[in-house]
């Protein structure tokens, strides 16, 4: 039955999924897509060998993975640990995003001078990306990163961090 999703639990596939999640910012859907076509996730380098020869036409669906997680305690724990490790990957990505300029065009309309278009570092976009990554890190590993992301005193500490990291 080629092409039908695999339904029985397979530890090799579970290991592949957890290894990919732990070493990339990818979600389960993208990891499953990578089982069918490894070129989809080629840009993410792994920490060590991750069953790179594992390509399946009948990879399990997302719903099957959810069922495996519900029914298999060992896989549930393995996936939980992979998500906690993924928070570290997202933290590294956040620092990289904060340190690299994101050049963009910003147009301000109205005012006395009319429309003003400037090209430069898009700090607002970098701040949004960093806040999103930080929030996801808190969701993946709340014991380490917490879920309370309101800055102290209402000031924008992330903008200060991005500016400081870029040396501006």
pLDDT tens per residue, range 70-82: 999 999 999 999 9
32 vs 148, more confident: 32
Percent of the chain with pLDDT over 70: 70
Q: Which domain holds residue 157?
A: 94-166
User: Is 85 a member of any domain?
Assistant: no
Neighbours of 134 (CB within 10 A): 18
Distance, in Å, from the CA atom of 14 to the CA atom of 17, rounded to the nearest integer, reads: 5
Q: Are residues 63 and 104 in the same domain?
A: no
User: Is 119 a member of any domain?
Assistant: yes
Q: How confident is the model at residue 59 (pLDDT cuts 50, 70, 90)?
A: confident
User: Is 98 a member of any domain?
Assistant: yes
147 vs 119, more confident: 119
Q: Are residues 111 and 159 in the same domain?
A: yes
Angle at the Cα of 11 (from 45 to 43), degrees rounded to 5?
15
User: Is 110 a member of any domain?
Assistant: yes
88 vs 77, more confident: 77
Average pLDDT, the chain: 75
- Over residues 38-59, mean pLDDT: 54
Q: Are residues 21 and 65 in the same domain?
A: yes
User: Is 4 a member of any domain?
Assistant: no
> Which of 71, 86, 118 finishes a domain?
71
51 vs 165, more confident: 165
pLDDT, one tens digit per residue, over 109-128 is 776 777 777 777 777 778 88
User: Is 112 a member of any domain?
Assistant: yes
- pLDDT at res. 107: 75
Q: Are residues 17 and 65 in the same domain?
A: yes
Percent of the chain with pLDDT over 90: 18
Listed in sequence order, the DSSP H helices in 9-156 are: 11-23, 28-36, 62-71, 73-99, 123-140, 142-145
3-state secondary structure of 72: coil
Distance, in Å, from the CA atom of 120 to the CA atom of 108, rounded to the nearest integer, reads: 13
Whether the predicted pLDDT of 106 surpasses 80: no
* Main-chain phi, psi angles of 80, to 5 degrees: -60, -45
User: Is 77 a member of any domain?
Assistant: no
Distance, in Å, from the CA atom of 77 to the CA atom of 62, rounded to the nearest integer, reads: 18
Q: Are residues 104 and 162 in the same domain?
A: yes
User: Is 64 a member of any domain?
Assistant: yes
Q: How confident is the model at residue 45 (pLDDT cuts 50, 70, 90)?
A: very low
- pLDDT at res. 47: 40
Q: Is the dihedral of CA 31, 37, 41, 46 positive or negative?
A: positive
Q: What's the structural domain count of the chain?
A: 2
Distances from the Cα of 106 to the Cα of 34, 87, 125, 130, 168, angstroms: 36, 31, 11, 19, 19
Q: Are residues 51 and 109 in the same domain?
A: no
Q: Are residues 100 and 146 in the same domain?
A: yes
The alpha carbon of 75 is separated from its chain's Cα centroid by a whole number of angstroms, namely 20
- Nearest CA among 89, 82, 83, 84 for reference residue 24: 89
């Amino acid at each position: 039955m080629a092409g039908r999703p695999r339904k029985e639990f397979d530890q090799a596939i579970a290991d592949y999924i957890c290894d990919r999640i732990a070493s990339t910012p990818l979600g389960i859907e993208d990891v499953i897509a990578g089982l069918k076509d490894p070129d989809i996730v080629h840009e993410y380098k792994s920490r060590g060998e991750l069953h790179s020869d594992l390509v399946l036409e009948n990879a399990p669906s997302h719903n099957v993975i959810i069922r495996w997680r519900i029914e298999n305690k060992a896989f549930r724990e393995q996936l939980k640990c992979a998500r906690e490790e993924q928070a570290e990957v997202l933290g590294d990505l956040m620092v990289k995003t904060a340190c690299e300029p994101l050049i963009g065009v910003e147009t301000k309309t109205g005012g006395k001078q009319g429309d003003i278009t400037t090209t430069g570092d898009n700090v607002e976009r970098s701040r949004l990306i960093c806040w999103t990554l930080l929030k996801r890190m808190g969701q993946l590993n709340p014991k380490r990163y917490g879920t309370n992301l309101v800055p102290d005193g209402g000031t924008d500490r992330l903008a200060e961090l991005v500016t400081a990291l870029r040396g501006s």
